[in-house]
Amino acid sequence: MPKSLPDAEKLCTDLADAMRAHVDPAKTALVGIHTGGVWVAEKLHAALGLKIPAGSMDVSFYRDDYHQRGLHNNAKTSQIPFEVEGAHIVIVDDVLFTGRTIRAAMNELFDYGRPARIGLAVLADRSGRELPVAATFCPHSLSLPDTQMLALERAGDGKLSFRLVDRDKPAEPGEAIADTESGDGGRK
Amino acid sequence: MRDKQNPQLNRNGELTHLLSIEGLPREILTRILDTAAPFSEVSEREVKKVPLLRGKSVFNLFFENSTRTRTTFEIAAKRLSADVINLNINTSSANKGETLLDTADNLAAMQADMFIVRHASSGAPHLIAQHLGVAGHDHIHVINAGDGRHAHPTQGLLDMYTIRHYKKNFTQLSVAIVGDVLHSRVARSQIHALTTLGVPDLRVIAPKTLLPTGIERLGVKVFNDMREGLRGVDVVMMLRLQSERMQGALLPSTQEFFKSYGLTPDKLALAKPDAIVMHPGPMNRGVEIDSAVADGGQAVILPQVTFGIAVRMAVMAMLAGST
Query: Read out DSSP for B67-117?
Result: HHHHHHHHHHHHHTT-EEEEEEGGGTGGGGT--HHHHHHHHHTTT--EEEE
Instruction: Please report, for chain A, the start and end positions of each structural domain, with discontinuous segments joined by +.
Output: 8-166
pLDDT confidence of A179, banded at 50, 70, 90?
very low
**pLDDT given for residue A74 in this prediction:** 83
Using one digit for the tens of pLDDT, what is the confidence trace for B67-117? 889 999 999 999 999 999 999 887 665 666 678 899 999 999 999 999 999
Whether the CB-CB separation of B263 and B290 falls below 8 Å is answered with yes
Q: What pLDDT digit, counting tens, does each position of B107-145 carry?
A: 999 999 999 999 999 999 999 999 999 999 989 999 999
Residues B142 and B181 in one domain: no
The verdict on a CB contact (< 8 Å) between B46 and A79 is no
Q: B118: burial class by Cβ within 10 Å (0-12, 13-18, 19+)?
A: buried
The strand pairing partners of A57, in sequence order, are: A33
Q: What is the pLDDT of residue B304?
A: 97
Q: Are residues B157 and B147 in the same domain?
A: no
The CATH number covering residue B23 comes to: 3.40.50.1370
Q: Distance (Å, rounded) from C-alpha B307 to C-alpha A52?
A: 30
**A31/B contact by beta carbon, under 8 A:** no
Residue B106 and residue B180 in one domain: no
In chain B, what percentage of residues exceed pLDDT 90? 84
3-state secondary structure of B154: helix
How much is the pLDDT for B247?
A: 62
> Of B318, B321, B304, B322, which Cα lies nearest the Cα of B40?
B304
The whole-angstrom separation of Cα A96 and Cα A137 is 11
How far is residue B221's CA from residue B176's CA, in Å, rounded to a whole number?
9
CB B266, CB B293: distance < 8 Å: no
In this prediction, residues A67-76 reach a mean pLDDT of 86
- Local confidence band at A149 (pLDDT 50, 70, 90 cut-offs): very high
pLDDT at A171: 47
- Of all residues in chain B, what percent carry a pLDDT higher than 70? 95
Whole-angstrom distance, CA of residue B146 vs CA of residue B99: 19
Q: DSSP secondary-structure letter at B289? A: B
More confident site: A30 or A180: A30
A62/B contact by beta carbon, under 8 A: yes
Query: Is the same domain home to B168 and B55?
Result: no
pLDDT in tens, A91-109: 999 999 999 999 999 999 9
Contacts of A68 in chain B (CB under 8 A): 323
Res A182 pLDDT > 60: no
Question: What is the number of domains present in chain B?
Answer: 2
pLDDT of A69 higher than 90:
no
| Alpha carbons B29 and B171: distance in angstroms, whole number | 15
Regarding whether B144 and B166 lie in a shared domain, the answer is no
- Check CB contact under 8 Å for A107 and B51: yes
The predicted-structure confidence for B177-196, as pLDDT tens digits, reads as follows: 999 999 999 999 999 999 99
Report the distance separating Cα A188 and Cα A63, nearest Å.
Answer: 12
Nearest residue of B to residue A104, measured between CA atoms: B51
Q: How many CA atoms lie within 13 A of A16 on its CB side?
A: 17
What pLDDT, on a 0 to 100 scale, did the predictor assign at position A180?
47
Question: Beta-strand (E) ranges in chain B?
Answer: 57-62, 83-88, 114-119, 141-147, 174-178, 201-205, 221-223, 235-238, 276-278
Q: Tell me whether residues B321 and A74 touch, CB distance under 8 A.
A: no
Q: Which range is least confidently modeled, A47-61, A173-187, B53-67, B212-226?
A: A173-187
Indicate if B144 and B259 belong to the same structural domain: no
**For A112, which of B31, B46, B323 is closest by C-beta distance?**
B46
The span from the CA of A71 to the CA of A187, in Å, is 10
Q: What is the mean pLDDT of chain A?
A: 89
Do both B113 and B223 map to the same domain? no
Mean pLDDT over residues B167-171, rounded?
A: 97
A112 touches chain B (CB under 8 A): yes
Q: CB A70 to CB B323 under 8 A?
A: yes
Which chain A residues are closer than 8 Å to B46 by Cβ?
A: 84-85, 111-113
Those residues whose C-beta lies under 8 Å from the C-beta of residue B106, and which sit 6 or more positions away, are B98
- The residue segments making up the domain with residue B139 are 2-152+306-320
What per-residue confidence (pLDDT) applies to A132? 97
Residues of chain A positioned with their CB less than 8 A from the CB of B51:
61-62, 107
Paired strand residues for B144: B117
- pLDDT reading at B321 higher than 60: yes
B47–A107 CB contact, under 8 Å: no
Based on the fold, state whether residues B159 and B298 are members of the same structural domain: yes
Same domain, B168 and B295: yes
pLDDT of A184: 36
pLDDT digits (tens, 9 = 90+) for A6-31: 999 999 999 999 999 999 999 999 99
Kindly state whether residues B157 and B203 are assigned to the same domain. yes
Identify which of B110, B108, B189 has the alpha carbon closest to the alpha carbon of residue B146: B189
Q: Which CATH code is given to the segment(s) A8-166?
A: 3.40.50.2020
**Any B CB within 8 A of A58 CB:** yes
Chain B residue nearest residue A105, CA to CA? B50
For residues A1 and A166, the answer to whether their CB atoms sit within 8 Å is no
pLDDT at B1 over 50: no
> A170 CB contacts (<8 Å, ≥6 apart)?
A146, A147
For chain B, list residues whose CB is within 8 angstroms of any CB belonging to chain A: 14, 31, 34-35, 37-42, 45-47, 49-52, 317-318, 321-323
Q: What is the DSSP letter of B224?
A: S
Bigger pLDDT: A71 or B72?
B72
Which 8-state DSSP code applies to residue B198? T
